[in-house]
Amino acid sequence: MPTKSVRAVPRKPSKTTSAKIPLADAVERNHELINDVITGVGSTRSAVKLGSSKLLRSLSERMPELLYPHFDFFTALLEQENQILRWNAILTLANLARVDTQSRIERVLDRYLEPIHGPNLITAANTIRGAALIGLAIPALVPRIVPAIMSVENAVYASPECRNVAVGHAVEALAVLAPKAADARPIRLFAARQLGNPRPATSAKARRFLKARNASPDVRRSADPSAWESELRIPSS
């Protein structure tokens, strides 16, 4: 497991990546360019650093097998002080779960899920979203993921309203995972408790989930993270 030192993350920028970032299509045609993109995350130029991070997240959706050999690099980014690098790494690792033939996600799962407890709302929300993707890709991890997501009820954020926003993300993530859970009753109880949530958007999500559960024993929701971004988006710069 990589150390938690931030110094383990950036790499010295090359002349190539300090000047420009390869396009996703170019990386797909020439896999060797992935090293330039990874190096770009360590650039001193903010546009290159954040652009490279965003590109890696995009590539993890399109070609997770290309990034999987760099799993430890993204795990180290979970400790980054730069929040945008951290958010992109959270979602990148979630996308890599689809090709996790070495059970590496399982070994870092507790560390991955820790941000749900707070204090940063956006980090927690992205972790919740990523955890749902991991659960879909690796159903054996659902028994560990579901309780971690439900722990958002007791998380400490900047304000109670922030927690209510996070709870809304949790309801949506649990709706995705419910069909994979051996026992969905705790998930239904969690949603039922949110019917009285003071945030209207969150209570509405709980109502929709429970209505869908009553209508059909198999709730099917899109696992596309973009469907969960109505209230929270990741800044690109």
Residue 23 pLDDT: 77
Query: Residue 235: inside a domain, yes or no?
Result: no
Q: Is the domain of 140 the same as that of 202?
A: yes
Q: Is the domain of 68 the same as that of 145?
A: no
Q: Is the domain of 95 the same as that of 121?
A: no
CA separation for the pair 134, 109 (Å, rounded): 10
Residue 141 pLDDT: 98
Preceding peptide of 235 cis, ω within 30°: no
Residue from 116, 118, 58, 52 nearest 85 by CA: 52
Query: Residue 143: inside a domain, yes or no?
Result: yes
Q: Is the domain of 72 the same as that of 147?
A: no
Residue 33 pLDDT: 84
Q: Is the domain of 4 the same as that of 79?
A: yes
Query: Residue 83: inside a domain, yes or no?
Result: yes
Query: Residue 154: inside a domain, yes or no?
Result: yes
Q: Is the domain of 46 the same as that of 144?
A: no
**Distance separating the N- and C-terminal Cα atoms of the chain:** 29
Boundary (domain end) residue, out of 79, 102, 125: 102
Mean pLDDT by 10 residues, the chain (237 residues): 42 46 73 85 93 94 95 96 96 98 97 97 98 97 98 96 97 96 95 96 96 60 43 44
Q: Is the domain of 96 the same as that of 128?
A: no
Maximum separation of any 2 CA atoms in the chain, in Å: 58
Contacts 24+ apart (CB under 8 A), 179-186: 179/218, 179/219, 179/220, 180/135, 180/136, 180/139, 180/142, 181/142, 181/143, 181/146, 182/142, 182/143, 184/213, 186/146, 186/147, 186/150
Q: Is the domain of 34 the same as that of 78?
A: yes
Q: Which two tokens stand for residue 225?
A: 């993270």
* Residue 103 φ/ψ region, left for φ over 0, alpha for ψ in the -120 to 50 degree band, beta for the rest: left
Query: Residue 237: inside a domain, yes or no?
Result: no
Give whole-number Cα distances, 114 to 59, 67, 123, 209, 232, in Å: 25, 23, 10, 25, 19
Q: Is the domain of 121 the same as that of 225?
A: yes
Residue 21 pLDDT: 67
Boundary (domain end) residue, out of 78, 102, 126: 102
Query: Residue 107: inside a domain, yes or no?
Result: no
Q: Is the domain of 65 the same as that of 138?
A: no
Tally of domains in the chain: 2
Entry pTM: 0.82
Boundary (domain end) residue, out of 45, 74, 102: 102
Find the domain containing 179 and state its range: 116-229
Q: To which residue do tokens 């929701």 refer?
A: 221
If you compute the radius of gyration of the chain from its CA atoms, what whole number of angstroms results?
18
Query: Residue 88: inside a domain, yes or no?
Result: yes
Query: Residue 79: inside a domain, yes or no?
Result: yes
Q: To which residue do tokens 């730069």 refer?
A: 82
Q: Is the domain of 146 the same as that of 56?
A: no
Q: Is the domain of 199 the same as that of 133?
A: yes
